[in-house]
Amino acid sequence: MITLKNKLLFLLWGSLMLSLATGCAGHCEQNNRRIEQLYKAGRQYIAQNRNDSALCCFMEAEKLILTHNNHLSPGKIYAHIGYLWRSAQQYAYSNEWYKKALANYQKTGKKELETSILLYIGDNYRLLDKHDLRALDCYHEAMNLTNNDTLLGNIYQRIGLYYHYAGVVDSALYYLHKSTAYPYFKHEQSIRMLFLGNTYFDENKFDSAKYYFKRALEYPCGLRQESGCYTMLHRIAVLQNDTLNILLYSTLSSQYKDSILHMETQMRHVLLNESNKRAFESDERSNTYKKILAIVTIMIVIGIGGLFIHNRQKNIETIRVREKNADLQRQLHREKLQTNTLLQIKEDIYEKFQSEQNLLAERHRVDYVRRIQQACNGVKLQYPYMSPPYKKAVIKIYTSLLHLGNPNKFKTLVNEQFYGFFEKLERNYFKRSLSQRSATLACLILLETPKEHVEIILEYAQGSYDKQYSRLCTRVGIQDNNQLSIVLRNIMLQ
For the chain, what are the domain ranges?
30-265, 383-493
User: Distances in Å between the alpha carbon of 459 and those of 76, 453, 463?
Assistant: 120, 9, 11
Confidence of residue 108 (pLDDT cuts 50, 70, 90): confident
User: Distances in Å between the alpha carbon of 131 and those of 123, 126, 136?
Assistant: 12, 7, 10
Confidence of residue 236 (pLDDT cuts 50, 70, 90): confident
More confident residue, 44 or 1: 44
Share of the chain above pLDDT 90, in %: 0
Mean pLDDT is lowest, of 54-68, 205-219, 246-260, 336-350, for: 246-260
The pLDDT score that the predictor gives to residue 130 is 81
Confidence of residue 160 (pLDDT cuts 50, 70, 90): confident
The pLDDT score that the predictor gives to residue 260 is 63
Share of the chain above pLDDT 70, in %: 78
More confident residue, 420 or 86: 86
CA distance 440 to 424: 15
What single DSSP character describes residue 460?
P
Instruction: Please say if the pLDDT value at position 398 is more than 70.
Output: no
- State the average pLDDT for the chain: 77
CA distance 88 to 94: 9
User: Distances in Å between the alpha carbon of 70 and those of 45, 83, 108, 114, 150?
Assistant: 24, 21, 9, 16, 29
Report the CATH number of the 30-265 domain. Answer: 1.25.40.10
pTM value is 0.48
More confident residue, 260 or 126: 126
The pLDDT score that the predictor gives to residue 192 is 80
Instruction: Please say if the pLDDT value at position 27 is more than 80.
Output: no
Mean pLDDT is lowest, of 9-13, 74-78, 175-179, for: 9-13
Quick one: 63 exposed, middle or buried, by C-beta within 10 A (0-12, 13-18, 19+)?
Answer: exposed
The pLDDT score that the predictor gives to residue 82 is 87
CA distance 22 to 34: 19
Instruction: Please say if the pLDDT value at position 63 is more than 70.
Output: yes
More confident residue, 202 or 429: 202
Please check whether residue 410 is in contact with residue 398, taking contact to mean a CB–CB distance below 8 angstroms.
no
Instruction: Please say if the pLDDT value at position 405 is more than 80.
Output: no
Confidence of residue 25 (pLDDT cuts 50, 70, 90): very low
Confidence of residue 68 (pLDDT cuts 50, 70, 90): very low
State mean pLDDT over 57-66.
Answer: 80
Instruction: Please say if the pLDDT value at position 432 is more than 60.
Output: no
CA distance 150 to 109: 20
Mean pLDDT is lowest, of 299-303, 328-332, 471-475, for: 471-475
The pLDDT score that the predictor gives to residue 370 is 67
- Name which of 109, 24, 38 is nearest 69 in CA terms: 24
The pLDDT score that the predictor gives to residue 21 is 46
Instruction: Please say if the pLDDT value at position 22 is more than 70.
Output: no
State mean pLDDT over 427-438.
Answer: 68
Confidence of residue 184 (pLDDT cuts 50, 70, 90): confident
Instruction: Please say if the pLDDT value at position 401 is more than 70.
Output: no
Instruction: Please say if the pLDDT value at position 1 is more than 60.
Output: no
More confident residue, 123 or 494: 123
CA distance 252 to 190: 18
What single DSSP character describes residue 48?
T
More confident residue, 80 or 394: 80
pLDDT tens-digit readout, 271-322: 566 667 767 777 787 888 888 888 888 888 888 888 888 888 888 988 989 8
The pLDDT score that the predictor gives to residue 433 is 58
39, 42, 43, 45 alpha-carbon torsion, rounded to 10°:
160
pLDDT tens-digit readout, 135-155: 888 888 888 888 888 888 888
